[in-house]
Amino acid sequence: MIRKLTKGVLLTAAVCLVTPALGAPTNDELKIGISQEFETMNPLIMSMSASSYMYRMVGRSLVVLTPEGTWVTQLAKEIPSLEKGTAQMVTVKGTKKIIANWEILEKAKWGDGKPVICQDFITAHTIATSPNVSVGEKELWTQVEKIDIDPANPKKCKFTYDKAKWDFYKLAQFYPVPTHLEMEVFKKFSKQKEGYEKNSAYVRNPTNPGLYNGPYVISAVKLGSHVSFAPNPHFYGAASNIKKIIVKLIPNTGTMEANLRSGTIDMISSVGVELDQALAFEKKARVEALPFEVQYVPSVTYEHIDLNLENPILKDVRVRKALVTAMNREDLVKALFEDKQQVAIHNISPKDPWYTDDPKVITTYRYSRRNAGKLLDEAGWIMGKDGYRYKDGKKLSLVFQTTAGNKTRELVQVYLQNQWKQSGIEVLIKNEPARVYFGDTMSKRKFEGLALFAWISSPENSPRSTLASNAIPKASNGWSGQNYHGWKNAKVDKALDAIDLEFDHKKRVSLVHEILRAYTDEVPVLPLYYRSDISVIPKNLKNYKMSGHQFHETNFIETWNLN
């Protein structure tokens, strides 16, 4: 019955529309559909995929990871290394540290013509490490102990790291902010909790070109509608080919196709279309000879359900194991995705060198209503006459949340709601717009029970921000961190610390596997599937390549060409 319901909804969302003749987009303008509204363009604060997708059009960092998996420079002249001597390992008071020499490109400027200098990284570091500023991954910033500027050249600086970390050069999210615009705001509001976030120029005046150093600047923002981008005349790299880009918000993914067919948008971003819809559209595009190409790239994106471990019901690991055992994930990916997305067994993707499916290392959970029932019986949740379980007169009921309007996630919710009901678990769906869900509910841990969303990372990326006990967001740390489930495990914390300092690849992998052993045994999160990145592009778009990791294809948007 569930599968029939799923197919029925998919067919409803994929009704063929009358398609007018569409002209191919040109370099004069490109309209991109996106399903999430950004929460902020401030690179120090942003945490949503929609934000980073758009920010990569307007902002650059010292280095970045290419779609091929190679680290390359952006704002930096070169990547410092121990082998070349541009980075050194030193011992200070018994602690090993790394000092790395970074030099910013001479031509690197902000959109108002001011040069990008070392002080802009110091300003970003000062703001991001403030206890009153909410940053998703505080460790990203605190790993740099200090930044010293060469007195003879404001673009030359030395980064001193608090520890000798093997991946010290991977600073793709260590963004600068313009000192001449942001430092005054920070000084004025630094003593207020979230005062800087609310008053930053990125919030108060997001079209100020001086906020951006990438190939584009933001020229217009209309919340709930669109964001417009214009070429940055001061960009250090090659001039952009496309004269105007509009990213249009279409929160209901079910209507994305209609907007594409009508010409309201020219393409759908990798933050805009779900696999089931892409599969259906690809078939129609082939039959109707539509001028679009559907692209798929396996990714490290991890779709999962966070569990609020402070919920009295979910504190019991037997309940958590029952929830994952009662999910038929193999049937889910078959019914919704035609087996083109892989069932997740933990938080690390098969594309990552750290991945393992070795049963000697991890605990796996096969679908079994019988075993789920046994676990719930052991936990004291007894089946009632109404088909739901009760304990001490209280029904086993959980609130299940995700981003409203995301049809695939809503289908997944209904699918799981029905499966859990068969095991006597009541699930109440309560969805919110992405901006509210990520900007407030998740970041401040307001969700009551189950929270469905995805983590996007890159290969060999430490899961510290989502698993460390000191990364649990709370008022006392300015709601910093992304350990929304609130998991605490001393052995995991120790392994996370050790990974950072281990230069031997095999030993790092062994430490990661220690974490996965605890992660799969204690079940703080319900793994669902590893996603594929998907987008729909016009056939005449050249130099477009999805990455399959957290550094979006917009990183190289200046090379896109519609001629």
pLDDT digits (tens, 9 = 90+) for 394-429: 999 999 999 998 888 999 999 999 999 999 999 999
Using the structure block, give the residue that is written with the tokens 């005046």.
205
Q: Is the pLDDT confidence value at 9 over 80?
A: no
- Dihedral class, residue 170 (left if φ above 0, else alpha if ψ from -120 to 50, else beta): beta
User: Which range, of 143-147, 160-164, 226-230, 453-457, averages the lowest pLDDT?
Assistant: 453-457
DSSP string, 122-139: HHHHHHHT-TTS--TTHH
Cα angle 546, 290, 286 (rounded to 5 degrees) comes to: 85
- Position 49 scores a pLDDT of 87
Q: Is the pLDDT confidence value at 534 over 90?
A: yes
DSSP 114: P
pLDDT digits (tens, 9 = 90+) for 46-92: 988 899 999 999 999 999 999 988 999 999 999 999 999 999 999 99
Q: Is the pLDDT confidence value at 437 over 60?
A: yes
Q: Is the pLDDT confidence value at 110 over 90?
A: yes
Cα gap 511→499, rounded to integer Å:
6
Cα gap 552→544, rounded to integer Å:
11
397 CB burial (10 A radius; 0-12, 13-18, 19+):
middle
Q: Which domains does the chain have, with CATH numbers?
A: 63-183 (3.90.76.10), 299-531 (3.10.105.10)
Q: Is the pLDDT confidence value at 253 over 80?
A: no
HEC sequence for 36-78 = CCCCCCCCCCCCCHHHHHHHHHHCCCCEEECCCCCEEECCECC
- Residue 282's contacts (CB-CB under 8 Å, 6 or more residues apart) are 294
- Residue 406's contacts (CB-CB under 8 Å, 6 or more residues apart) are 35, 253, 274, 434
pLDDT exceeding 90 applies to what percent of the chain? 82
pTM of the model: 0.75
Give whole-number Cα distances, 522 to 159, 220, 375, in Å. Answer: 38, 47, 14
pLDDT digits (tens, 9 = 90+) for 235-244: 999 999 999 9
User: Which range, of 228-242, 334-348, 503-517, averages the lowest pLDDT?
Assistant: 334-348
- Position 22 scores a pLDDT of 62
Using the structure block, give the residue that is written with the tokens 């609020």.
308
Confidence of residue 135 (pLDDT cuts 50, 70, 90): confident
- Mean of pLDDT values over 103-112: 98
Q: Is the pLDDT confidence value at 23 over 90?
A: no
- Mean of pLDDT values over 283-292: 95
Using CA atoms in the order 389, 413, 307, 399, what is the torsion angle rounded to 10 degrees? -60
- Mean of pLDDT values over 222-245: 97
Cα gap 97→91, rounded to integer Å:
6
Q: Is the pLDDT confidence value at 4 over 80?
A: no
- Position 254 scores a pLDDT of 76
3-state secondary structure of 439: helix
Q: Is the pLDDT confidence value at 185 over 60?
A: yes
- Position 12 scores a pLDDT of 31
* Mean residue pLDDT across the chain: 92
- Residue 426's contacts (CB-CB under 8 Å, 6 or more residues apart) are 388, 395, 396, 397, 398, 420
Q: What is the sign of the dihedral through the CA atoms of 170, 173, 177 and 183?
A: negative
Q: Is the pLDDT confidence value at 17 over 60?
A: no
The residue count for the chain: 563
